[in-house]
Structure 1
Amino acid sequence: MAHRADSLTPDFVPHTAEAVREHLAAATGLPAFLEGAGTLSLAERRLIVDQALLMLDQNYVHLPLKSAMYAVNPVQRLRVLRRRLEQQTDETKPVEWLFHAEMSEIFHSVRDLHTNYLLPNPYRGKIAFLPFLVERYEDAQGEHFMVAHVAQGFSAPGFEPGVEITHWSGIPIAKAVDLNAARFAGSNAAARRSRGIQSLTLRPLAMHLPPFEEWVTVSYTDADAGAGAGATLRELRESWRIVDNALLPPFAGGAAPTGAALAMGLDLDMDEANRAKVMLFAPKVIARQRALEAGETAPEVRAGEIPTSMPKVFRAQEVQTASGTFGYIRIFTFNESDVAGFINEFIGLLRQMPDRGLILDVRDNGGGVIWNSELALQTLTPRRITPEPTQFINTPLNLRICRRNQQQLGDWLPSMEQAVEIGATYSSAVPLTPEDKANAIGQQYFGPVVLIASARCYSATDIFAAGFQDHRIGPVLGTDENTGAGGANVWEHQHLVELLAGDPETPYRPLPKGAGMRVAIRRSLRVGSNSGTPVEDLGITPDIPYRMTRRDLLEGNADLFERAGEVLKGLTPHVLSITDATAAAGALRLKVKAVNVDRLDVYVDQRPRASVDLSNGQADLTVPDAAGAHSARVEGFVGGELVASQTARLN
């Protein structure tokens, strides 16, 4: 058995990357961390429960759905807890971790990763970790749980990417994953199990209490080829460590509830975990991000990778498959407050992709700013984008918030006032993303696209995947039965405090000692052929199911890329390009090249002006009386179906 001592500094840290070495050296063991935890007074506990009761009863948009689907009553549980707190004194109150455990259990009971109780200091902003990552794959023998990544510098006999876990602290690994999954929120079975795997080695303490066990014992097998005896059974005992999760700061919308702060659709647990994964297993991303922010020369990217100004958001490259060479863009997060910068960087990467096809990968993306996810859709299709509409639940307090903040929330107000008379459960459905902005840029990539999604996709990423499917942009290739199913816009408690700031009768009170709460405030509905279907709990069912393989985990998604390449090979690219737009003598001359297009329609300043059939893949058009035009748009058709569109800005 290999034993890792619980020293002040993990022994692998001196050998890890310079970008994270000093930070990880400050990690503490679990017992030392817990010595400073637990400072809430009884009055502060009562305040937290009162505010939770207010949010779930008056603001939580999914309360009727969750109560029906899961037979839970979180509001009544909070009332009971509040009654018990009234009967306690500072001398008789239970230890604090039991209070946090009950609060977390009540919030987890609704199985909604948008709706969280956030633990106070010193938990908030911390991550509990083991220096390796476990992932699942399938083959003909069934499912396996394998070490996929190991922190740089960490070593133990035979312990490396590729070893298979058999037991976790004496529990068969599949059962350990299921037990873990039952403890964590998730809107469907696939999402819960996926979280159960991830939380084996990563626990964001803002959402979860520290592990009860101070260390884990991992039983694993390695292949001892030299001995010729096949698998060798080994054990590793590793202590949990606690460290600040701040090397890649999250987007902070601030207390002011404006702009992107009110358009958030984020699984905070996934976002925290993803940032921790970068710190532990991809420190080069941190070094590159720091260099870009400081205006310095960024470290070289991997061979074949396309540099990006947002390395924590995107990774782009070309991938070689048996079906051909295709573009690949990974979107790690939509959690970027610079919306224009996000979209411009995405467009810049799209323009470097081959026209033959694009693999767009959003696995494990916990969401972020909903505007980013919905504005990006237009760049991939000639069809007009309809953003997902959203609804409040009709309550007196939500009505009061909308009345006081009409500049931002006035579109929902008339239906909420009408609900006082007609008793409607939900407000009218209004998009968060303005439809004109969702179509202002237009198509930028003209090849076929396949989207790869997983059960760890959530919130804004669920909305992106739903929009991708609803607008028939391309097939969705899913590594799980469905996505995480987070169909809502989420607000923090501090936003509710600020939205009624100055109201002498506001019921919201600031929370003590860094405690926090989040709530799904507006639910989202799908469009197109799925119009009106909620995303919450249902998620997006992939068009093409896929199961990750051992080779995927060890060789950079090799089999996954091959499958995506097969899908793209069966799809037809429809390329359209305005190569020249010239104004002369009051007319507008357009030169257009097209591939797999049989008809062109021409619009000048949004007005139809010409339509021509194509036979040789190019056209030279003159539009009379077009002096001073601001834009020209050409739309390409095949058999009467719109397949490509490009807009040229004039003057």
Structure 2
Amino acid sequence: MFKKLSVVLTFAASFSSTVAISATPEQQAAFQPLSNSRQYIQLPSYSDEQKQLIADQAKKLLSIYVNRENKTLLYGNQLDVVPRINAIQQNAVNLSDEELHNGIQTIFKSQRDLHLNYSYPTPYSCFLATQVFSLTEIYSPTTSRKAVISSFLDFLIPLAPEVAQLSIGDELVSINGRSLTDVVNSLVDEGAGANNFGSFNRALEKISFRSFRVDRLPNENSATYQFKRASDGSLITVNVPWITVGDADCIRSSETLLNRPMASNGYKEEFLTPFGLSSDKSEDLYQQEFNKLYGRTTSQMLQNAGVVLNDTVDTTIQWAIINNRYGSFGYLSLASMVPSTGPIGGVKVISELLSNQLADTDGLIVDVRNNGGGFVIYAEILPQLFTGNTIEPYGSRALKSDINEFIFVDLQAEGAEWRDAYLNILDTDKKYTQPIKLTTPYLANDLVGQLYFKPVAMLTNAACYSACDLIAGLMQDFTDTTLWGEDLLTGAGGANVIGFNDALIGAFELDQFPQTGIKPLPGGQDMRVAWRQSIRTGESDNRILEDLGVRVDRRARPTVSDLQGKTQSQFDRIGSDLKYRSWDKQSKIEFLAPQQFNDFAFINLTGTIYFGYELIADPTQPNSIDIKVTKTDRVNVSLNGVQISSVYTYGGGSSGKEVSIQLPDNLPAGNNYLLQLEGVTYGDIVWRANRLIRK
């Protein structure tokens, strides 16, 4: 949704330090020291009219900021966004460009909400900067927190040769003479991370990575670091330059964008997607930019240990088999909740992995560390693959405001349910709509159904944010998954977002809805706001995700030895737990008939869709479905949501028992049917499986 910086990984070690300001966009965008590029990373000069416009539009966007009340209660009235944006709005024309943009940015970041974003204008926002290494917090036996180098951008070391003296696992002691604690505390507001864990995590990222879409330029062109060597404990001091890279297309268009705001072609049907006005997308854009440059440092630990990570057709999904003394465990890495193949494509890739490469493992580890989030619907569909329990999707609520009234009532952009929910509070003193589910219960439970039956663990950290918070919460609330965390809490992003340019400008025809006052922004700017607040269900009913995040069941911080690939202490601990839990996870079903994955099928008699496996019927026994069940007393059989029989298997034993499911003889030909099987043991549902049948 919100404009992402396109990172051009073109190496430019030969770039001259004396290039003139007339350098081409490609020269400006090349990797080079900040001492060279600082002259290009400039804020444009706005007219008084443009300054006032930006302040006015920021105020309008903040009027639908759904987390405002919670943030004010948590951080104090002095950080309330409304009086602060009012002050800037009333004085906008008297502020310099730097004062205006930094003032609004400070208000947005002070809420410590990574869904609330103010993008600087171009060409400033066309650049990012790195110090060639990344940091992570490691296990410490004391109360003091430790951060060490977790990865390098090796291809940039020729531009920062001092970094070649450092190694993975070297511990950061100080920066420019200031302790790690002091530096982190000074970067809490700039990092905008929620709670103690999110703020520390984001501050570590800010130490070595800045996106000028949302960050200020460092005051200095380099920083002096003191590290304690992992090898022998000796101290080493290095001065490391900031290295910048830009987007040449963004730079090229910046002059045009200054005085020609994004065109509004009026109301457009295409903005009303099947997933709603905002596409129900919820992600941390900064984390996505960080991951794009650095890759997933969490996965690199496994590779350092010799584990083979396998790619899939979806660039956000990898898998592996981890063997240790506790067993053979499947490993599923989800780098983002924005699958490169789309939400449904991602579900298909994971479904096929669970049914094939990962099916015979002793347990499964789902790694969502550093996952910045993405599609709500993706996060709420995936948990059904791992459980026979009924999943209740989380609810979302919106704030009462004039703009929301136009969205929900006048435009009806989110459909009748949201229109009615808003009308129900219109003449009341209620501040929020009732919670409404963005994903239907059917999609969350029966679109595919359960495909994996062994114990599952999910590994998170405080950079698991937004839709990643969502899947972590659902897995904890509704499946038997054990939630492991490098941090005690996930990143705590509890809302889905709406973007200014792609949603508000795209949806409102300015002539048709002049009352909104929504106007296009100059300078290639954009903004984004937390729009609908997530409300948990199940065991955590009515708790919000914002600021609180999801509290993990067990903690597992990496050690220096893990980062270096010498050990896998995190996965050893998780493997031990999976083995212990396996005694209670022996019930399962196997379909003995051939099957194939079907992308989409319409269930003719119910008006629903099915996305998953289709059984290939035996032509000699078209109404008989052969299955094998383990540790299962009874199988409930339903067709298109209506139970038609129960088959008693009397335990099935640990080696399994073959059973034939009989379908009615009079099923009309030419139709598709959804076969739903539930395994029951001691009165509890222990597994669930759906399959498509064509007649």
* TM-score of the alignment, normalized to the shorter chain, above 0.5: yes
Residue of 567, 577, 590 corresponding to 2:590: 577
Residue of 50, 67, 71 corresponding to 1:66: 71
2:312 pairs with 1:308: yes
Q: In the TM superposition, what is the alpha-carbon distance from 1:305 to its structure 2 partner?
A: 2.8
2:391 pairs with 1:385: yes
| CA distance in structure 1 between the aligned counterparts of 2:484 and 2:248, rounded to whole angstroms | 33
Normalization by structure 1: what TM-score? 0.86
| CA distance in structure 2 between the aligned counterparts of 1:194 and 1:597, rounded to whole angstroms | 45
SS at match of 2:624: strand
Residue of 662, 667, 670 corresponding to 1:623: 662
| CA distance in structure 1 between the aligned counterparts of 2:146 and 2:270, rounded to whole angstroms | 44
Q: In the TM superposition, what is the alpha-carbon distance from 1:259 to its structure 2 partner?
A: 4.2
User: CA contact under 8 A between 1:390 and 1:430: conserved in structure 2?
Assistant: yes
User: CA contact under 8 A between 1:166 and 1:219: conserved in structure 2?
Assistant: yes
2:533 corresponds to which residue?
523
2:651 corresponds to which residue?
614
Q: In the TM superposition, what is the alpha-carbon distance from 1:534 to its structure 2 partner?
A: 1.1
Pair 1:164–1:32, CA change in 2 (3 A): same
SS at match of 2:165: coil
Residue of 614, 626, 634 corresponding to 1:599: 634
Pair 1:245–1:189, CA change in 2 (3 A): farther
Residue of 290, 293, 298 corresponding to 1:276: 293
1:404 corresponds to which residue?
410
Pair 1:178–1:595, CA change in 2 (3 A): farther
2:283 corresponds to which residue?
266
* Higher mean displacement: 96-105 or 536-545: 96-105
User: CA contact under 8 A between 2:148 and 2:170: conserved in structure 1?
Assistant: yes
User: CA contact under 8 A between 2:109 and 2:189: conserved in structure 1?
Assistant: no
Pair 1:73–1:626, CA change in 2 (3 A): same
User: CA contact under 8 A between 2:624 and 2:660: conserved in structure 1?
Assistant: yes
| CA distance in structure 1 between the aligned counterparts of 2:690 and 2:108, rounded to whole angstroms | 48
1:49 corresponds to which residue?
55
AA partner of residue 107 (structure 1):
F
1:51-101 alpha-carbon deviations (Å, 9 max, x no partner): 1111112x1111121122211221111111122224x2xxxx43x333322
Q: In the TM superposition, what is the alpha-carbon distance from 1:28 to its structure 2 partner?
A: 3.4
1:537-566 alpha-carbon deviations (Å, 9 max, x no partner): 111000112222222222287111111101
Q: In the TM superposition, what is the alpha-carbon distance from 1:254 to its structure 2 partner?
A: 13
Identity of aligned residues (%): 25
1:499 corresponds to which residue?
507
2:235 pairs with 1:233: yes
SS at match of 2:632: coil
Pair 1:151–1:281, CA change in 2 (3 A): farther
1:290-439 pair list within 5 angstroms: 304-311=308-315, 313-336=316-339, 338-351=342-355, 352-353=357-358, 354-406=360-412, 408-438=414-444, 439=446
Q: State the superposition RMSD in angstroms.
A: 2.9
2:240 pairs with 1:243: no
| CA distance in structure 1 between the aligned counterparts of 2:211 and 2:70, rounded to whole angstroms | 27
| CA distance in structure 2 between the aligned counterparts of 1:133 and 1:407, rounded to whole angstroms | 42
User: CA contact under 8 A between 1:131 and 1:280: conserved in structure 2?
Assistant: no
1:167 corresponds to which residue?
174
| CA distance in structure 1 between the aligned counterparts of 2:28 and 2:188, rounded to whole angstroms | 28
How many equivalent pairs are there? Answer: 600
1:298 corresponds to which residue?
none
* Higher mean displacement: 197-206 or 428-437: 428-437
| CA distance in structure 2 between the aligned counterparts of 1:174 and 1:10, rounded to whole angstroms | 34
2:551 pairs with 1:541: yes
Q: In the TM superposition, what is the alpha-carbon distance from 1:32 to its structure 2 partner?
A: 4.0
Pair 1:512–1:131, CA change in 2 (3 A): same
Pair 1:131–1:11, CA change in 2 (3 A): farther
2:451 pairs with 1:444: yes
| CA distance in structure 2 between the aligned counterparts of 1:84 and 1:180, rounded to whole angstroms | 27
* Higher mean displacement: 640-649 or 605-614: 605-614
| CA distance in structure 1 between the aligned counterparts of 2:27 and 2:390, rounded to whole angstroms | 47
| CA distance in structure 1 between the aligned counterparts of 2:482 and 2:299, rounded to whole angstroms | 30
User: CA contact under 8 A between 1:371 and 1:433: conserved in structure 2?
Assistant: yes
Normalization by structure 2: what TM-score? 0.81
Residue of 671, 679, 683 corresponding to 1:636: 679
1:292 corresponds to which residue?
none
Pair 1:280–1:131, CA change in 2 (3 A): farther
| CA distance in structure 2 between the aligned counterparts of 1:404 and 1:556, rounded to whole angstroms | 61
Pair 1:25–1:98, CA change in 2 (3 A): closer
User: CA contact under 8 A between 1:158 and 1:222: conserved in structure 2?
Assistant: no
Structure 1 unmatched ranges of 5 or more: 1-7, 14-21, 225-229, 248-252, 284-301
Pair 1:266–1:615, CA change in 2 (3 A): closer
| CA distance in structure 2 between the aligned counterparts of 1:23 and 1:348, rounded to whole angstroms | 45
1:254-293 alpha-carbon deviations (Å, 9 max, x no partner): 993534542111111111111121399999xxxxxxxxxx
1:161-206 alpha-carbon deviations (Å, 9 max, x no partner): 1222221111122322232224321221110011011111111211
User: CA contact under 8 A between 1:366 and 1:460: conserved in structure 2?
Assistant: yes
SS at match of 1:577: strand
| CA distance in structure 1 between the aligned counterparts of 2:424 and 2:145, rounded to whole angstroms | 53
Q: In the TM superposition, what is the alpha-carbon distance from 1:119 to its structure 2 partner?
A: 1.0
| CA distance in structure 2 between the aligned counterparts of 1:642 and 1:568, rounded to whole angstroms | 21
Structure 2 unmatched ranges of 5 or more: 1-10, 17-25, 250-267, 301-305, 594-614
SS at match of 2:532: strand
SS at match of 1:384: coil
SS at match of 1:462: helix
User: CA contact under 8 A between 1:578 and 1:646: conserved in structure 2?
Assistant: no
Pair 1:327–1:169, CA change in 2 (3 A): same
Q: In the TM superposition, what is the alpha-carbon distance from 1:605 to its structure 2 partner?
A: 3.0
SS at match of 2:123: coil
Residue of 502, 516, 520 corresponding to 1:510: 520
* Higher mean displacement: 253-262 or 165-174: 253-262
User: CA contact under 8 A between 1:600 and 1:614: conserved in structure 2?
Assistant: no
1:295 corresponds to which residue?
none
User: CA contact under 8 A between 1:355 and 1:446: conserved in structure 2?
Assistant: no
Q: In the TM superposition, what is the alpha-carbon distance from 1:434 to its structure 2 partner?
A: 2.4
Pair 1:583–1:519, CA change in 2 (3 A): same
SS at match of 2:236: strand
* Higher mean displacement: 632-641 or 192-201: 632-641
| CA distance in structure 2 between the aligned counterparts of 1:564 and 1:281, rounded to whole angstroms | 15
1:453-499 alpha-carbon deviations (Å, 9 max, x no partner): 11111111111111111103311011111011111011111111222
Q: In the TM superposition, what is the alpha-carbon distance from 1:369 to its structure 2 partner?
A: 1.2
| CA distance in structure 1 between the aligned counterparts of 2:536 and 2:468, rounded to whole angstroms | 13
Pair 1:124–1:336, CA change in 2 (3 A): farther
User: CA contact under 8 A between 1:120 and 1:515: conserved in structure 2?
Assistant: yes
Pair 1:619–1:25, CA change in 2 (3 A): same
User: CA contact under 8 A between 1:587 and 1:623: conserved in structure 2?
Assistant: no
| CA distance in structure 2 between the aligned counterparts of 1:257 and 1:420, rounded to whole angstroms | 23
* Higher mean displacement: 211-220 or 33-42: 33-42
2:601 corresponds to which residue?
none
* Higher mean displacement: 33-42 or 440-449: 33-42
Pair 1:454–1:626, CA change in 2 (3 A): farther
